[in-house]
Structure 1
């Protein structure tokens, strides 16, 4: 069922006057409704305005973009970074730039639509993907580019990337969508980049949304200096308006809040896992806030007991049902106790 609401869904939401606990969405750190984070954003809004609808190539340029990109590159551990107005645009810039005669694009299981080029096949498992790449080497000299998500619960991606390790990575460019990793996994929330670099692929490019954990309207791309310069010189980048500069500036001053929220989120994850009697009811990664399941009765049962979760066909109506419970730093211990008690009663 689809619900229409008129405010951002925090730890609770109101639908037609009825209150529900909300364990869905992607606000992992709960920043969008956090008063301290909003205060920083509002101060930056006064300085930078609500938006900056001009090309990054314009003759008047706001310095905060390059400053924040240098900060993000340092956080993630990449040589360089550029930002876009959304994670989807960041993914499409990468995919469309690499869609050329010198590259062949391959899509791993569950790879996000943000990095997809129409007409390209998505492989159902890494075994089939590896077979296709082996066949490609026999018939073409173009470089394979493998697109995958950093967080794949069923395929076991982060942190060990066992699926990718089956591939001849030294001959492959890896593009990792880290939208659901950056900000919450890795050292200080630096995401998956450093882990992926350890796989020794031919090249690593990471793209992501910054709107999930970090709660701002922006996307990022991380990689080598030469690759990032190539992206900067495309019509795609030059023709697009950037992320709101107020959002960029907020990343600078929000570091202490991010750290505090990650601690709260980790506590919530530990409380939840310890409270569950039957862990096999859900699929999940250690120390990660999303818990997946395939039994449709679970979502219906929770809804009847005033708990709403993420439960819809994604990314389109013909896609499989995505059902997941999402914890955030905004949830209280009491919220989690209610959720765990309901699941334990199944």
Structure 2
């Protein structure tokens, strides 16, 4: 059932004038309604304005963009980084830039729609993907580009990426959407780049949203210095408005907030995971706060107990129902105890 609300869905939301606990969405660090984070953002809006619609190629350039990109590259562990106005735009930009006669696209299971530039179905298994890529390499001179979601909520990829390692990675350009990892998993919220960079990949490119983990409306692409330079020279990049500079400045200034929030989230995840008795009902990844399930009756049961979770067909109405319990840094111990009690007493 769809619910319409008039405020940001934080720890609690009001449905039909009745307060419910909210265990959904993607605000993993609960930054959007955090007072300290908002103060930083508001002060930066006063300095940089609410929007900046000029091209990054303009003769007048704000230094905060380059500072934020250098900060992100160092955090993630890549040679270079560029930011854009959203994670979806970052994925589309990257897919468009790579769509050439020199490349052939392959989509791993559960790849996000942000990475699609051509009509091609994702493979249902990594075994099938592996066969297809190897057959392509024996009969074709074009470089395979494999698109992948780092966190696909099935537990197939992050954190070990075992299925990915059956592919001939040394001959592949791997494009990874890390929207649900950036700011949340990895050392200091650096995402999955440090894990994947240890594999023998021909070229690794990571992209994603900065909204889920870092709480700002922006997207980013991480790669080699050469790759990032080539992307900045495109008309796509030059013609697109950037992320708001106030968001970039807040990213640079909010380190202490990010650290505190990640620790709170990790504490909440540990408490939930260690006390969850019905573990077989869920798919989840160690170190990530989303617990997926496919039982519509569980969603209805939780709502009857004044708990709202994420539950809708994604990314369109023809897709399977996506349901998950999502923990955030805003949840209190009593919130988690309540949802645990409701789940653990089930037969």
TM > 0.5: yes
* C-alpha distance in 2 between matches for 1:170 and 1:32: 40
Show the 5 A alignment for 1:1-346. 1-346=1-346
Alpha-carbon shift at residue 16 of structure 1 (Å): 2.6
* C-alpha distance in 1 between matches for 2:5 and 2:72: 33
* C-alpha distance in 1 between matches for 2:287 and 2:98: 34
Partner of 2:145, secondary structure, is strand
* C-alpha distance in 2 between matches for 1:78 and 1:302: 42
Measured on the aligned residues, the alpha-carbon RMSD in Å equals: 0.9
| Unpaired segments ≥5 residues, structure 1 | none
- 1:155·1:163 contact (CA, 8 Å) conserved in 2? no
> TM-score by structure 2 length?
0.98
* C-alpha distance in 2 between matches for 1:312 and 1:156: 21
Alpha-carbon shift at residue 138 of structure 1 (Å): 2.5
Partner of 1:22, secondary structure, is strand
> TM-score by structure 1 length?
0.99
Partner of 2:199, secondary structure, is coil
- CA offsets 1:56-109 (integer angstroms, 9 cap, x no match): 111111110001000000000000000000000000111010010000011000
- 1:77·1:193 contact (CA, 8 Å) conserved in 2? yes
* C-alpha distance in 1 between matches for 2:307 and 2:118: 37
Alpha-carbon shift at residue 155 of structure 1 (Å): 4.8
Alpha-carbon shift at residue 118 of structure 1 (Å): 3.1
Alpha-carbon shift at residue 287 of structure 1 (Å): 2.0
Which stretches of structure 1, 4 residues or more, deviate above 4 A after TM superposition?
A: none
Partner of 2:32, secondary structure, is helix
Partner of 1:33, secondary structure, is coil
Alpha-carbon shift at residue 139 of structure 1 (Å): 2.3
| Unpaired segments ≥5 residues, structure 2 | none
